[in-house]
Structure 1
Amino acid sequence: MNIEIYRQYCLSKKGVTESIPFPKLPNVLVFKVMGKMFTATDIETFESFSIKCVPETIDELRAQYDALQEPSYFSKKHWSRVVVDGSVTDKILFEWLDVSYNLVVAKLTKKEQALLEEL
């Protein structure tokens, strides 16, 4: 996966926007659904990206995939850093992005979910 494939996949999801919201981190590109972040990456290096994960399965996945690591800046219980080193297929990376997106959508208010459905 390269950054353009990652970007296009994220933007193909309903209600997703991209931004660089952190003034002190001008290289961090964030993707949000209905204003809530579900993934982020460094646009200069694209060495990794962060995703939300299911807390009950996160440790098992990290044990199975060396590329799935504890994040530097996010909650280790809910987020993982995915190292883009070619050891994980794009298919699985897309699945992980889907899980991250769906976890965020599930936490939206009923009103926000209804607005998302209308898009």
Structure 2
Amino acid sequence: MDLPDAIAHCLAKPAVEETTPFGPDVLVYKVVGKMFALTDPSSFPATMNLKCDPERSVELRAEYEAIIPGYHMNKKHWNTVTLDDSIPSELVRELIDHSYELVVASLPKSKRP
């Protein structure tokens, strides 16, 4: 999966907005104001930081060289996923969905999309 496809998958989710709170070089994807993904579109190879269940993070990092602890993020809860085709596109979509769902689950029920 390439970066434009990953971004499109993020933006297709309910109540998602693209913001730039860290400056114009970092695109941040939020659901109801809470971040679930971010990327620097100028980086090569492309990467995306995604929230992840801590136990699953450990498993993913052991299985895929292209998944490492989140760059500039809480390493327990975030992974940096390199979008270099070494990870199946289906898994990248699943990881984006998982990140989104973790954030939605943390929202008050009245604010969930």
TM-score, with normalisation over the residues of structure 2?
0.93
Residues 18-67 of structure 1: CA distance to partner in whole angstroms, max 9, x if unpaired? 011113xx210000011100000001126211000011221111101111
The aligned runs of 1:27-38 (5 Å cut-off) are 27-38=25-36
Shift of 1:3: 2.2
Ranges of 4+ aligned residues in structure 1 off by more than 3 Å: none
Q: 1:6 maps to which residue?
A: 6
Residue identity opposite 2:42 in structure 1: E
Partner SS state of residue 76, structure 1:
coil
Percent identity, aligned pairs only? 43
After superposition, give the CA deviation of every residue in 1:66-97 in whole Å (9 maximum; x if it has no partner). Answer: 11101221101100000111100111100000
Where relative contact order (Cα < 8 A, 6+ residues apart) is larger, the structure is 2
In the alignment, what sits opposite 1:45?
43
* Structure 2 residue matching 1:56: 3-state secondary structure: helix
Give the count of matched residue pairs: 112
CA distance in 2 between partners of 1:62 and 1:48 (Å)? 14
Native 8 Å contact 2:3 2:83 kept in 1? no
Q: What is aligned with 1:79?
A: 78
**1:49 is paired with a residue of what secondary structure?**
strand
Structure 1 Cα separation of the partners of residues 3 and 57 of structure 2: 24
- For structure 1, the 5+ residue unaligned runs are none
